[in-house]
């Protein structure tokens, strides 16, 4: 006579059920999103930047373009100096003494337009390192004041990331040229008086700064 045994499922940590695996996958995805948000919140004024590869940073920038107010640049967008009916100011980038080695020939221009669509910012630079990722931020002080000082914020003391700040991210092409445009639905007025560019992986090494000619 055979007796049927009741076999209990193992409750040890080694046994992975489909439900457990799904839960772990969700936790991993959440952790990745938190890490991405933390990297975006890192500014160039007194903060330590995450060392992100050029490929990852570039992918992140394009991935944010579809999020309202969170875009960090679109090279194919209408540049600020072509926005119909907008008030446009521009500035010429000047080298800063905080620039990293090998960045002595960077030149470029920035434009800031304000109109019915809010604020549009375009940067165009040459003399960059091919394939490297760069970041630019609007600043609340002129270049002569601590190399631009702190980031411009629509709500001072608020989130250090878009849409409360205006950031641009782009990758230099094989000739060392980089250009991109970003839009924010709000107007900066005359609060954003300068723009600073730096390597994405070394945000304290400000390369160049441009004052807008209000």
Tens-digit pLDDT profile for residues 53-75 = 333 344 344 443 433 456 799 99
Residue 10 within a domain:
no
Helix (H), strand (E), coil (C) string for 122-153 = EEEEECCCCCCEEEEEEECCCCCCHHHCCECC
CA distance 83 to 69: 18
* Tens-digit pLDDT profile for residues 37-51: 444 444 455 443 333
pLDDT on residue 203: 84
Phi, psi (rounded to 5 degrees) for 82? -115, 10
Q: Which residue has the higher pLDDT, 46 or 186?
A: 186
CATH number at residue 162: 2.60.40.200
Give the count of domains, the chain.
1
Domain assignment present for residue 156? The answer is: yes
Higher pLDDT, 66 or 153: 153
Which range (25-29, 68-72, 167-171) has the least confidence? 25-29
Prediction pTM value:
0.71
Looking at residues 107-126, what average pLDDT do you find?
98
User: Helix or strand or coil: residue 81?
Assistant: helix
Residue 125 lies in a domain: yes
SS (H, E, C) 16-75: CCHHHHHHHHHHHHHHHHHHHHHHHHCCCCCCCCCCCCHHHHHHHHHHHCCCCCCCCCCC
- Domain range for 76 is 18-211
Query: Burial of 172 by CB count in 10 Å (0-12 exposed, 13-18 middle, 19+ buried)?
Result: buried
Question: Which H or E run contains 195?
Answer: strand 194-199
- pLDDT recorded at residue 58: 40
């Amino acid at each position: 006579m055979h007796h049927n045994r009741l076999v209990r499922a193992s409750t040890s940590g080694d046994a992975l059920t489909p439900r457990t695996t799904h839960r772990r996958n969700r936790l991993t995805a959440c952790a990745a999103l938190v890490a991405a948000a933390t990297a975006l919140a890192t500014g160039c004024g007194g903060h330590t930047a995450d060392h992100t590869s050029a490929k990852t940073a570039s992918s992140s920038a394009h991935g944010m373009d579809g999020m309202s107010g969170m875009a960090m640049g679109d090279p194919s967008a209408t540049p600020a100096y072509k926005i119909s009916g907008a008030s446009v100011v521009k500035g010429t980038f000047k080298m800063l003494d905080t620039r990293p080695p090998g960045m002595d020939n960077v030149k470029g221009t920035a434009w800031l337009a304000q109109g019915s669509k809010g604020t549009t910012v375009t940067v165009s630079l040459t003399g960059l390192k091919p394939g490297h990722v760069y970041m630019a931020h609007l600043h609340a002080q002129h270049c002569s004041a601590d190399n631009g000082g702190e980031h411009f914020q629509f709500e001072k003391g608020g989130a250090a990331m878009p849409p409360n700040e205006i950031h641009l991210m782009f990758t230099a092409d094989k000739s060392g040229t980089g250009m991109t445009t970003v839009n924010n639905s709000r107007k900066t007025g005359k609060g954003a008086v300068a723009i600073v560019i730096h390597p994405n992986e070394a945000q304290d090494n400000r390369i160049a700064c441009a004052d807008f000619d209000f």
